[in-house]
Structure 1
Amino acid sequence: MANFSSLKLIDVCKIPPPPTAAAPSSLPLTFFDLLWLRFLPTQRLFFYEFPSNEISFHDVIVPKLKSSLSLALRHYLPLAGNLVWPSQSDTPIIEFVEGDGISMTVAESDSDFYHLSGNGLREVSEFHPLVPQLSVSHDRAAVIAIQVTKFQNKGFSIGITHHHGILDGRSSTSFIKSWAQICIEESFVPISKQMPLYDRSVINDPKDLAKLYAKAWQEVEGPNNKSLNLKFPQTKHGLIRSTLEFTHQNIQNLKEWILNKKIENEIFDSSSSHISSFAIATAYLCVCTAKLEGLKEGELWFVFAADARIRLKPQVPLNYFGNCLVAGFVRLERFGLLSENGIILACDQILKGIRNLDDQALNGCENWGSIMSQLTFDYSKAQGVSLAGSPRFGVYNADFGFGKPKKVEILSAESPYFFSLTDSRNSDVVMEIGVVKERDEMDAFVAIFNQGFESI
């Protein structure tokens, strides 16, 4: 299956914002940002088919992407800057100075476009050349980097790598969609509700969590270590990537099965009918994971991130730029997951975990900084099922004027314990699930995933 393709670099340039950029030239990090300070960056890859053979990649597509990116930075100036940690400051800041810009790489690949943009089994290493590396050192870190890669007369990809300590999925997706809109219509200006909000005062920090989290990072390899170098998990060779789908019919069948079982067992209550697609899908993935691992003792942990903007009091506007995530932790008994009612048990626990976040979004927040800094220095401690992305971001709406993406992949989720979630180009599909496993485990997992639907 390995496709040992070559990549030819055509151009590496810096895209500066226009001189009229109005966003702030420096921006402090909040405690929500500091949680992710040295965490691995987020990498997304968008595949686009050429709309026709007449459109020239080098003469039309690349210049349009470059000019629209510059114009988008008028509203997203911090993306063109760098993360720095001034000696006199307790916490790092994003700083933009004249001459800064976003690094954009243009390349050509002889890989098979349709193989990589499909749902089938693909080696994770095949995607690595298509996403750029962030420029990061001890005292400076770029915010974002972009790579545009042409595949022989079939299509092209846009690879985006961004620093997780500066923006979360909602903020990064808003930027990508604004850039896409400007690529279609240069005069496009986001409406005020979509314009990024940089006002840090909307994040209340009465417990001075920002200083607490910054101190936790300084002590990991400290004392007083202000390094901005990112930490990456150890890479496993030979991992395979695949995309599975939850269709509307899958979700509906699972929901009906759960409700019927609850009525049968007389455990139906008023909340039973309000089961979200997210809870059903993730409960099903946890059951599939438990079945794959077989009869193991103890518990399976499920960890998910939730947008805190709507959960904080007062609420934070949805267009707030930065990180604003809280984590839900769900403990699942493996024995229960393997029982006939495993998906019901998982669903109930996940719904309870979501309700807990709705009621107490910042519960235990004093400890998050030390937990996250220790976890980042040894990712192997994270043995629970985790998620990246969300179908709510609508990444398949990122149309740069060349049509909607043929495929979107979240590449930073490169672990057997990570699932990535996105919406879908296909209207019959509620969400796509990106899965990474070793080859033999992938075959078994896909079989378990498909058999579960057949059995209900």
Structure 2
Amino acid sequence: MATQNSMKLLEVCRVSPLFDSPNTATELSLPLTLFDLFFFKSTPIEFLSFYSHTHLDDHLYFDSILSKLKHSLSLTLAHFLPLVGKLIWPPNSQKPIIHYTPGDSISLTIAESDANFDNLSGHHVTEARDFCPLVPHLETSDSEASILTLQVTLFPSKGFCLGIVADHAVLDGKAMSLFLDSWVYISKLEKLITKNNATLLPELTPFFDRTVVKYPATLDSMFSNRLLAMNSRRSLKSFDFEVPADIVRATFELSRTDIEKIRKRVLSWGDKNGETKTNTSEPLHLSTFVLTFAYTVVCVAKAKEVESNKMIYLYIIANFRSRLDPPIPANYFGNCVGVGGIGAEARELMEESGLAIAAYRIIDGIKKMKGFLNEADKLIEMVTREKEVEGTQTQPEVISVAWSNKFRDYERDFGWGRPKKVELTNIHRTKATSMVDSKNGNGGVEVGMVLKKHEMDRFASLFVTGLQSL
């Protein structure tokens, strides 16, 4: 059962874009692309950053932090107007659109909690529901949906948590990372004290032009028609994504040394199993992502004690900006991810060569992403069809991964130090695995896990003993 702690609401305010520019005085509309529609009404992105400050019992100091946050946020939003707008679905539009109107603003909640800050910002096992009070609610209705909302939660004498929730139909992890990096950049500009404008570096300036995203128009109409068939009222009200009461979360770290040991083990086992050999002359790319996910997958399969003949499907979501033909700018703001999936029988992953099999299967899945758009019609059908009855023995086990260790989340310093801990809490609902770069900056990775308590206990033991045996 989740710990019962009190949460005191201190303030709920609105933050508007602040910029000496005609852009904020002009309406803006952007259509959702095929890549956006894949995440329509999906679980929002929920990102928490914990900052440790032992002298936050001084409310004047906390107020100064809030003042700087609000001001820099207002300046940053002027560059990211779609985040301030609303998602709407006009009667004359086949699909939803992002619409910004001058005067739009986002909600910012300020709260105070007496929960255990060290527990929430640590690596150890914690009940997933304990994080819920730190996650702000994203307002949605039948007619419109907010795109971004924030919450700052004070833990007196300990620190504070910055919670950000964004509609996944509007942006992916890469775009969210761009927004956060831009906000940090503006927050640290000294000239903000006297001027109500701030210029972003070119690489931080969002690119909104949807026309650069090329794909067959038939896919757009196919997706839109299926959405309308399922949702004739054009409702934007989100589904109810409850955090299950029986799950816990924990963070596990792989150092650069650990990752290199995994790499050597995969290579040494690679020739022992025919399925692990490549069919081309291309050199193997055993990236940090591949090795981390492979090791995690094997530990999960064993921790869940998956039946040996059951299929386990590994789903990978990757940035597709450079993979499109033609490629689109790295600072494109929206969704642009490809999905790759590949299966393996549980028994394969539990064998001695299971780590190598998992790594090579993941590589195969990444390679298959090149033809992602060629099979997009199948994915559209999968995403839009009604839920099937759960609980059958034939259902496959699914292990997916969210976020990226390339986003450098621990390098973001608004001016009061880097985060003590970052968490992606939407995995509490999706049951995905999250990956972020290591706080230690040593090239390692922090793996966020969500499992039932008895499964997490087994996973923790397998994770540690597995590394010791490498």
Write the mapping of 1:124-273 to structure 2, written as runs, cut at 5 A.
124-185=128-189, 186=192, 188-220=198-230, 222=231, 224-262=232-270
Shift of 1:352: 1.1
Query: Which residue number corresponds to residue 11 of structure 1?
Result: 11
Query: Which residue number corresponds to residue 93 of structure 1?
Result: 97
Aligned CA RMSD, in angstroms, stands at: 2.3
Identity of aligned residues (%): 34
Shift of 1:208: 3.4
Contact 2:312 2:396 in 1 (8 A): no
Contact 2:184 2:414 in 1 (8 A): yes
What do the CA deviations read for 1:151-185 (whole angstroms, capped 9, x no partner)?
01211110000000000001011111111221221
Shift of 1:55: 7.8
**Structure 2 residue 360 is the aligned partner of structure 1 residue 356:** no
Residue 127 of structure 1 aligns to a residue in which SS?
A: helix
- Give the partner amino acid of 2:355: I
What do the CA deviations read for 1:48-101 (whole angstroms, capped 9, x no partner)?
112855783442011111111110011001111100001111111111113210
After TM superposition, the structure 1 stretch with the greater mean CA deviation from structure 2, 415-424 or 71-80, is 415-424
Contact 1:231 1:377 in 2 (8 A): no
Query: Which residue number corresponds to residue 46 of structure 1?
Result: 49
Seen in structure 2, the aligned counterparts of structure 1 residues 268 and 306 have a Cα distance that, compared at 3 Å, is closer
Q: Distance in 1 between matches of 2:30 and 2:203?
A: 20
Query: Which residue number corresponds to residue 422 of structure 2?
Result: 408
- Give the partner amino acid of 2:336: C
Shift of 1:262: 3.1
Seen in structure 2, the aligned counterparts of structure 1 residues 88 and 265 have a Cα distance that, compared at 3 Å, is closer
Shift of 1:19: 5.3
Q: Distance in 1 between matches of 2:241 and 2:107?
A: 24
Q: Distance in 2 between matches of 1:328 and 1:71?
A: 37
Unaligned runs of 5+ in 2: none
- Give the partner amino acid of 2:123: N
Stretches of 4+ moved more than 6 A in 1? 264-270, 375-382
Seen in structure 2, the aligned counterparts of structure 1 residues 296 and 415 have a Cα distance that, compared at 3 Å, is farther
Contact 2:304 2:455 in 1 (8 A): no
Shift of 1:307: 0.8
Unaligned runs of 5+ in 1: none
**Structure 2 residue 321 is the aligned partner of structure 1 residue 321:** no
Q: Distance in 2 between matches of 1:329 and 1:197?
A: 29
Contact 1:387 1:419 in 2 (8 A): yes
TM-score w.r.t. length of structure 1: 0.93
Q: Distance in 2 between matches of 1:398 and 1:379?
A: 41
Shift of 1:368: 2.5
Q: Distance in 1 between matches of 2:97 and 2:148?
A: 15
Seen in structure 2, the aligned counterparts of structure 1 residues 219 and 14 have a Cα distance that, compared at 3 Å, is same
Contact 1:386 1:419 in 2 (8 A): yes
Shift of 1:386: 1.0
Q: How many residues align?
A: 453
